[in-house]
Amino acid sequence: MEDEKALEFRALTSQWKQQVTDFFEELKDAGDYKYFHPHPLTAKEAEIRCNYAGNDIYYISVEGKQILGYGMLRGWDEGYEIPSLGIVIHQSARGIGLGKTFIHFLHVIARRKGAKRIRVKVYTENVVALKLYEGIGYKFHAAEEGQKIGFFNL
Ligand SMILES: CC(C)(COP(=O)(O)OP(=O)(O)OC[C@H]1O[C@@H](n2cnc3c(N)ncnc32)[C@H](O)[C@@H]1OP(=O)(O)O)[C@@H](O)C(=O)NCCC(=O)NCCS
């Protein structure tokens, strides 16, 4: 029998369009767009990401049909060797290690795709994310427009 509450990481596909649209809406309502805005959090963008076919990576963390987190590795499409990682965890699923686990999962994908380093951009006042990345071993080198740039050697 299928486990309706199974915890999984899933590649985004069109079957998730409605859930992703709702998830983006909830992120906006919670004010998360302030720290997480790789693209607008609109229904149109949800559709684009769910139908995306390319070299970049868009994944969700789900519990059954419920989305708990959204993560990505981008830059390959634009020809960069070092992908940029972005991640957001739903407010209701924070503080239990999902963000850290998701990042390590994305690192495995990056290694499988031959990447040697990962880049992140984090707002200087986003202390939770900075602590998380630094705890994993990211080194932050410089700041531009209020954001720190960090790298992790895979
Ligand atoms: C940053 C974010 C992804 C963390 O997700 P999370 O699942 O809550 O994080 P985890 O439970 O895996 O915690 C990992 C580490 O983060 C830090 N952390 C998590 N919650 C924290 C809190 N409330 N206060 C301080 N540090 C915290 C800790 O270092 C923790 O490590 P520890 O458990 O060994 O102490 C989540 O807060 C989020 O989605 N924020 C909004 C979007 C964002 O800022 N994204 C990152 C920029 S791309």
Please give the single-letter amino acid code of residue 124: T
Residue to probe by mutation, ligand 1, list 89, 118, 140, most atoms within 8 Å of CB: 89
Q: Could you read off the pLDDT tens digit of each residue along the chain, which spans 154 residues?
A: 678 899 999 999 999 999 999 999 999 999 999 999 999 999 999 999 999 999 999 999 999 999 999 999 999 999 999 999 999 999 999 999 999 999 999 999 999 999 999 999 999 999 999 999 999 999 998 788 899 999 999 9
Verify whether ligand 1 is closer than 6 Å to residue 96 (CB atom): yes
Residue numbers of the domain that contains 46:
7-116
- Domain presence at residue 16: yes
Task: Output the CA 94–ligand 1 centroid distance in Å.
Answer: 7
Q: Is 77 part of any domain?
A: yes
In a domain, residue 75? The reply is yes
Domain presence at residue 122: no
Number of domains present in the structure of the chain:
1
Q: Is 140 domain-assigned?
A: no
Predicted TM-score (pTM) of this structure: 0.95
Contact, 146 vs 111, CB < 8 A?
A: no
Measure the N-to-C terminal CA separation of the chain; round to a whole number of Å: 38
Comparing CA positions, the residue from 91, 88, 89, 147 lying closest to residue 119 is: 147
Type and span of the H or E element at 113? none
The enclosing domain of 49 has a CATH number of 3.40.630.30
